[in-house]
């Protein structure tokens, strides 16, 4: 069975890295978006346009991802659904989400949402995305696709 890499592509900073690595491994890559992405001219890469609206891309990915697939997302509810479906999940910063840590990630998301609601002047969410994050993402995606091949 061949792996599919699903990318929650709206505002994803590592689309180019995902494309390069998926192609190198011969894995299909689906960039799922509400719009704004140009088509990619490679037979393994497909840009999937979903309806506008909250969570349309997330629902599309969650309905399809399963064992052997990789889901790239920063969205914790989507990550939880993908983990439950047996997919490997990777954040754009290169950290993997698994059955062992998704509960903590969801709890942290909820806590940060509550903190932002309590303090409307709270700015930012942490450190800036950088080259080290890109490198960690590339290394982890490479390992995930190797593992998926068996």
| Cα–Cα distance, 103 to 80 (Å, whole number) | 8
Residue 110 counted as domain residue: no
User: Looking at the domain assignment, is residue 108 inside a domain?
Assistant: no
Residue 25 and residue 9 in contact, taking contact as beta carbons nearer than 8 Å: no
- Grouping H, G, I as helix, E, B as strand and the rest as coil, residue 45 is strand
Contact by Cβ (8 Å): 15, 22: no
Tens digits of residue pLDDT in 17-74: 999 999 999 999 999 999 888 889 999 999 999 998 878 999 999 999 999 999 999 9
The predicted structure's pLDDT at residue 68:
92
Read off the pTM: 0.86
Local structure of 68: helix, strand or coil: coil
Cα–Cα distance list, 128 to 42, 49, 117 (Å):
31, 28, 22
Query: Cα-Cα-Cα-Cα dihedral of 127, 30, 23, 78, to 10°?
Result: 40
Does any domain span residue 117?
no
Task: Kindly state whether residue 60 falls inside one of the protein's structural domains.
Answer: yes
> Can you give the residue range of the structural domain that contains 80?
4-98+131-149
Q: What are the structure tokens assigned to 141, written together?
A: 């995606």
> How far apart (Å, rounded) are the C-alpha atoms in residues 28 and 7?
11
Predicted confidence (pLDDT) per residue in 90-115, tens digit: 999 999 999 888 877 766 766 666 66
Q: Would you state the pLDDT for residue 41? A: 92
Examine residue 68 and state whether it is found in any structural domain, yes or no: yes
105 within some domain: no
Q: Which of 59, 60, 57, 33 has its CA nearest to residue 45?
A: 33
Would 112 be classed as within a structural domain? no
Report the number of distinct structural domains present in the chain: 1
> What three-state secondary structure class fits 125?
coil
Q: Is residue 66 part of a domain?
A: yes
CATH number at residue 89: 3.40.50
Pairing verdict, β 45-49 and 70-72: unpaired
């Amino acid at each position: 069975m061949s792996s599919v890499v699903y990318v929650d592509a709206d505002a994803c900073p590592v689309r180019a890295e995902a494309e390069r690595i998926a192609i190198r491994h011969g894995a299909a890559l689906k960039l799922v978006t509400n719009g704004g992405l140009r088509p990619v001219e490679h037979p393994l890469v497909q840009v999937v346009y979903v309806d506008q609206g909250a969570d349309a891309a997330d629902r599309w990915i969650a309905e399809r991802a399963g064992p052997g697939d990789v889901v790239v997302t920063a969205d914790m509810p989507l990550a939880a659904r993908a983990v439950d479906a047996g997919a490997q999940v990777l954040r754009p910063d290169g950290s993997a989400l698994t059955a062992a840590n998704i509960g903590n990630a969801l709890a942290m998301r909820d806590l940060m949402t509550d903190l932002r609601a309590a303090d409307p002047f709270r700015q930012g969410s942490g450190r800036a995305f950088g080259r080290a994050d890109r490198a960690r993402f590339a290394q982890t995606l490479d390992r995930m696709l190797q593992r998926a091949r068996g």
